Amino acid sequence: MSGGPSGLLEGLQARVAAELADLAEQPFALVDFPDHANVGDSAIWLGTTAFFRRQHAVEPRYVASIAAFSPAALRRAHPEGPILIHGGGNFGDLWPRHQAFRERLLETFPDRLIVQLPQSVHYGDTRLADRTARVIARHGNVRLLVRDQPSLEFAAARFDCAVRLCPDLALCLGPMARPTAPRVDVLCLFRTDRERAAHYTLPRTSLDVEVRDWLGEARLPVRLHELTAVLARLRSGPRPAAALRLARYEAAAAARVARGCRLLSSGRLVVTDRLHAHLLSLLLAIPHAVLDNTYGKLGRFLDTWTGGAEGVHRVSTAEEALAWAEAAR
């Protein structure tokens, strides 16, 4: 897809709506809330709940992080209907805690439609992919949404379930205004985790460059946002525990996304190897250069959806990224 940001985003959001249309207006649960500092996962969560609230005026009956998840509580709050799993980039063996959770979920709820919201699929060990295939086959009612063409081809060939191509749900946040004015020429937001493809050494430049990641987080401000949201719900009258938990999660995710947007907006230009730094920069209309991660996740997504978008520049090295930034000054 290519073109101006508004037309591109409208097209991607329409694709999301089409892929999720048959879930409209029916009760659902949403699990695997990302209760951690990675801004991108919170952007996905907020985009997901915004989509269902805006498109269908519905909210999940039950929400939980992996740590807070209770099969019994889910059954009480949501006795029938689909269970949706948060999207992202952890389907496979790179982030085993999340994969183990979704496989346990399939084994625990054989009577429900399980919908895996858009994921990038990556396995380093095909034997583990075979194990996932067996769990999916035993369940028999799984829908797997994937967010790039190679993931679609891999999953369709290996997994006995409905596999569909769908954009990342963070795009359902829609266009946003920069929350702050730039204070440096270039903000380099580089991964510091296991998906980092390289240790980037930046060439000498006359530009004012800052290098950061967004995994660092002061927990107290996030917790204060959660408390404020819960108190606001309580002041409006009695609320079930599920509604209060959802309010707390939404507040935490919003605080994290706001932090990420402030960080990205601190640069006149952005260079990144994080998929959601790319997506949020797109939503914020910040020109940016994109490097890839260890297994090609960003390149796969750009090839499928956003590579032709205005303001997006694909590069292979930090030197190329800084050369682009120099030319764009």
| pLDDT band per the 50, 70, 90 thresholds, residue 113 | very high
Query: What is the rounded distance in angstroms from the CA atom of residue 108 to the CA atom of residue 98?
Result: 15
Q: Which helix (H) or strand (E) holds 187?
A: strand 184-189
> pLDDT digits over 251-283, tens only?
999 999 999 999 999 999 999 999 999 999 999
Q: Does domain 2-173 have CATH number 3.40.50?
A: yes
> pLDDT digits over 283-295, tens only?
999 999 999 999 9
Q: Per-domain residue ranges for the chain? A: 2-173, 184-327
> pLDDT digits over 164-223, tens only?
999 999 999 999 999 999 999 999 999 999 999 988 888 889 999 999 999 987 777 777
Question: Beta-carbon neighbour count of residue 80 at 10 Å?
Answer: 9
| Residue of 307, 2, 303, 10 whose CA lies nearest to 149 | 303
